[in-house]
Amino acid sequence: MGVVSKIRRLVLGRSKISNDFLDALEEVLISSDVGVNTTIKIIEGIQKRVSKEKYFDEIELRKILADEIVSILPDDIPMFGDSQTLPKVALVVGVNGVGKTTTIGKLAHRYTSENKRVVLGAADTFRVAAIDQLQIWAERTSCTIIKQQHGSDPASVAYDTVKSGLSKNADVILIDTAGRLHNKLNLMNELAKMGNVIKNIIPDAPHEVLLVLDGSTGQNALEQAKQFSEATNVTALAITKLDGTARGGTVIGISDQMNIPIKFIGVGEGIHDLQKFDKYNFVKTLLT
């Protein structure tokens, strides 16, 4: 059941913001995967905002809730911020299956549609299928792909990719990486090495470390966000698989807890199914 249906049910037969009501609202938010800490923050915010025993209706409650959620989410910042240097470089991280390759493909499509030159780097050299999958997206979006053999050094692929991007006057370079969370020290070293190699070519790059999370996995996604943040400096989030699920609550919890801006959401498997994250729109959609 989605948040809206739960709220509708919650409000039925009630017309005052009482302690009892706030307890029930807390349950609704937690069961919608908002997470305990963020839920408490929202409830406390509502308590400050509205006086007890106030009469309200469902629409009013949704508005109060929307205002409160918007106020706790970090402000939207566009991908790559306002750095002026070109090419822009993003390292894309995340565990297998979350939709990392698909998100890179959708991003490549977005940028090529804006007439930007895109180069993809297949630095997930650990998984055999990863290079092939990225190759398919490169063909689909008519982008250059830089790859080496399965098992080769990811930092070497990153080096080749950035060098190639520079020589081709690329606008955007998207580098896929292997997300081996079970081996955090390796992951940390690998990402640090890639970062250093890239910095040697373009000092202020990578301009973005984009973590891709599967929004349908609830608190699991939050756990991954924490782990990746310990392994590297994650600067942006892309949350996938928000189509057809009632899991929008996850987004609120992750963004609040991690204080990392969400830049994109994935809403399907197709090439167009990537939306720029807009917190006002998102909360509006979640609560209407």
Instruction: Report the interface residues with ligand GDP, using CB under 6 A.
Output: 94, 96-102, 133, 240-241, 243, 266-269, 273
Maximum Cα–Cα distance across the chain? 67
**Could you tell me the smallest distance in angstroms from the CB atom of residue 12 to ligand GDP?**
32
List, in sequence order, every residue forming a beta bridge with 122; answer none if it has no partner. 176
Half-sphere exposure of 167 (CA within 13 A, CB side): 8
Q: How far is the CB of 124 from ligand GDP (least distance, A)?
A: 8
For residues 118 and 140, the answer to whether their CB atoms sit within 8 Å is: no
- Which one, 42 or 134, has the nearer CB to ligand GDP? 134
Find where tokens 């991690």 sit: 258
Closest approach of Cβ 123 to ligand GDP, in Å? 13
Query: What's the DSSP call for residue 14?
Result: -
With beta carbons less than 8 A apart as the criterion, state whether 222 and 268 touch: no
Confirm if 204 and 150 have CB atoms less than 8 A apart. no
Phi-psi region of 212 (alpha: psi -120 to 50; beta: other; left: phi over 0): beta
- Tell me whether residue 127 or residue 168 sits nearer to ligand GDP (CB atom): 127
99 vs 121, beta carbon nearer ligand GDP: 99
244 DSSP 8-state letter: S
Alpha-carbon distance values, 49 to 46, 64, 79, 249 (Å): 5, 8, 33, 21
Least separation in angstroms between CB 68 and ligand GDP: 27
Cβ proximity to ligand GDP: between 21 and 137 the closer is: 137
**β-pair partners for 240:** 214
> Could you tell me the smallest distance in angstroms from the CB atom of residue 273 to ligand GDP?
6
| Cβ-proximal residue to ligand GDP, closest one | 266
Quote the least distance from Cβ 71 to ligand GDP, whole Å.
27
